[in-house]
Amino acid sequence: MTASAAPTAAYTALDAGDYLSSTLTRGPWDPAHQHAGPPIALVCRAVEQAAHQHGLTHIARLTANLLRPVPIGKLIVEVMTDYVGRNAGHFSAHLMAGDKDVARFTALAQRETPLELPQELAGHPLPMAPLAPDESPAASFPFAGRQVGYADLVETRLARGKFWNGPCAVWFRLRHPLVEGEEPSPYQRVAVAADSGNGVSAILDYERYLFVNSDLTINLLRRPVGEWICLDARTCLGSDGGGLAESALYDELGFVGRATQSLAVRAR
């Protein structure tokens, strides 16, 4: 690919709800399929827009049910408002490629209200990431450099551990916009990174095994801040082909939430 043809964003907005994917979304499992992080973030963006219409500005939970691999191509996002109350709203969404649902989502959005917390709360102040981004050395995914893809979309720095070698903490920052011409929201930054928990904390050789997640749930206790998001992730595997990846999520101010992924583990 020539420099002039290099993609500059993960997606380009077409008509309302329609988007064209770039190769920056490519994942490590199949060259024709996206990493799940960018399309989850794309739906997060649409949910944010729907929630803001009701004055709900905090995305407290986003759950993605990944039905099929997401192809690199044209995508359609549809958001439904299921219920909106005074302080919270429930939303659902479909992500479609052609006439097929490739993922379905539910989300909880909340109204943000300033609150003064009591002094000396148990468990507070909340913990910080193992290292700050500027203290963490640059690191690359094992699949980086083979083809333009997710490893080019994000910059990564290692806060603890080692990529694909057990428990691991990694800072993520977008190198390119999620949608052409837009500044990604903090929630979109979290969503792009959070689906990588099973990858950064992998304990199996990805060239010999598949350990793909069929879902992702992100719970956030407050609005994230800044460009950097840290995943402190670990993977646990069962003996029946199942597994769980869990990530503690941090921004530069400290702990902000958790992400979990259900894994299907198979030999290649």
Domain for residue 122, yes or no?
A: no
Q: What is the pLDDT of residues 59-114, one digit of tens each?
A: 999 999 999 999 999 999 999 999 999 999 999 999 999 999 999 999 999 999 99
Domain for residue 49, yes or no?
A: yes
Domain for residue 176, yes or no?
A: yes
CATH number for 171: 2.40.160.210
Position 2 scores a pLDDT of 42
Position 6 scores a pLDDT of 81
Q: What is the pLDDT of residues 123-136, one digit of tens each?
A: 999 999 999 999 99
Residue 101 lies in domain? 7-112+129-267
What are the helix (H) ranges across the chain? 37-52, 150-153, 186-194, 197-200
Local confidence band at 15 (pLDDT 50, 70, 90 cut-offs): confident
Domain for residue 38, yes or no?
A: yes
Position 3 scores a pLDDT of 44
Q: What is the pLDDT of residues 183-212, one digit of tens each?
A: 999 999 999 999 999 999 999 987 898 888
Domain for residue 67, yes or no?
A: yes
pLDDT at 1 over 70: no
Least Cα distance to 140 among 148, 130, 151 occurs for: 151
Domain count, the chain: 1
For the entire predicted model, the pTM comes to: 0.95
| b/e code 134-144 from CB counts within 10 Å (16+ = b) | eebeebebbbe
Mean local confidence (pLDDT), 4-16: 87
Domain for residue 2, yes or no?
A: no
Distance of alpha carbon 124 from alpha carbon 19, whole angstroms: 42
Q: What residues are paired with 247 via a beta bridge?
A: 233, 259
pLDDT-above-90 percentage for the chain: 87
